[in-house]
């Protein structure tokens, strides 16, 4: 089964149709998806900014990341569920949208960046935890995270404009 065939099948399911044709559910899911940005992007950006020596720079990196990452994950879960349900209602439109494809690509890159950072650079966090100026690799991970997630936000907004 090709990806397009899968999207066509998904679009035809009762659940997808129910969301698509509902008066309130679609705009509510859409709004939850946008509001959750404050939790997800808001908290992850404070962690990323800490890596760049901006914001909570007097606190250890591990303290900022440790205390705020659960909130980032909660925001991500809300975004994934609401976004997944919105996708369910219009998978063919998403399949045909260049902006949506770019969004998925940028999300994978953002996830990969976070994974690489936690498996490599972050392992030596005790060494640079309290420093305002931290290793270049950690700063690079922070910049990449901010740029990639901002890219996800922009490409997501462009899907609604038929890009």
Partner 1 sequence: MVPFLERWRDVWIAMTIRDSSWLLPAIESTHLLGLAVLLGSILVVNLRFFGLGMRRTPAARVAEQLAPVTLTALVVSILSGSLLFTTDPPKYWCDKLFPYKMAILGAAILFQFTVHRKVTRAAEAKINPGWGKLVAATSLVLWIGVAVAGRGIGSFNDHPGCEVGPDVTAHGTILKANLSGRFGNG
Residue holding tokens 């997800």?
A: 40
**130 forms part of the interface with partner 1 (CB under 8 A):** no
Are 68 and 90 spatial neighbours (Cβ–Cβ below 8 Å)? no
- From CA 49, how far away is CA 46, in angstroms rounded? 5
Q: Between 42 and 135, name the residue whose CB sits nearer to partner 1.
A: 42
Task: For the beta carbon of residue 37, count every other beta carbon within 10 angstroms.
Answer: 15
The one segment of 9-17, 85-93, 106-114, 124-132 that binds partner 1 by CB under 8 A: 85-93
With CB under 8 A as the rule, give the number of residues binding partner 1.
44
Which burial class, exposed, middle or buried, applies to 92 when counting CB atoms under 10 A from its CB (0-12, 13-18, 19+)?
middle
Q: Between residues 69 and 109, which has the closer beta carbon with respect to partner 1?
A: 69
Eight-state DSSP code of residue 163: -
Nearest distance from C-beta of residue 128 to partner 1, angstroms: 18
Which of these ranges, 10-18, 24-32, 109-117, 133-141, lies near partner 1 under the rule CB under 8 A? 24-32
51 binds partner 1 (CB under 8 A): no
Question: Binding to partner 1 (CB under 8 A): which residues in 60-79?
Answer: 63-64, 67-68, 71
Asked whether the beta carbons of 40 and 80 are under 8 A apart, the reply is no
- Under a CB-based contact definition with an 8 Å cutoff, are residues 104 and 20 in contact? no
Q: To 5 degrees, how large is the angle CA 109–CA 110–CA 113?
A: 85
Binding of partner 1 by 42 (CB under 8 A): yes
The residue range among 8-16, 44-52, 107-115, 134-142 that interacts with partner 1, by the rule CB under 8 A, is: 44-52
Applying CB under 8 A, which residues contact partner 1? 26-27, 30-31, 33-35, 37-43, 45-46, 49, 54-59, 63-64, 67-68, 71, 83, 86-87, 90, 94, 150, 153-154, 156-163
């Amino acid at each position: 089964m090709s990806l397009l065939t899968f999207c066509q099948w998904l679009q035809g399911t009762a659940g997808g149709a129910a969301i698509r044709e509902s008066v309130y559910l679609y705009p509510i899911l859409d709004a939850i998806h946008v509001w959750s940005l404050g939790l997800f992007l808001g908290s992850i950006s404070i962690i990323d900014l800490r890596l760049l020596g901006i914001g909570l720079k007097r606190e250890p990196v591990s303290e900022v990341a440790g205390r705020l990452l659960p909130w980032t994950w909660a925001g991500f879960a809300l975004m994934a569920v609401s976004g997944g349900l919105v996708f369910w209602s219009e998978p063919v439109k998403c399949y045909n949208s260049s902006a949506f494809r770019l969004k998925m690509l940028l999300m994978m890159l953002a996830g990969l960046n976070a994974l690489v950072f936690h498996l490599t650079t972050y392992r030596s966090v005790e060494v640079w935890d309290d420093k305002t100026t931290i290793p270049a690799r950690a700063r690079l991970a922070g910049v990449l995270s901010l740029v990639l997630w901002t890219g996800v936000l922009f490409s997501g907004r462009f899907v609604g404009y038929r890009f």
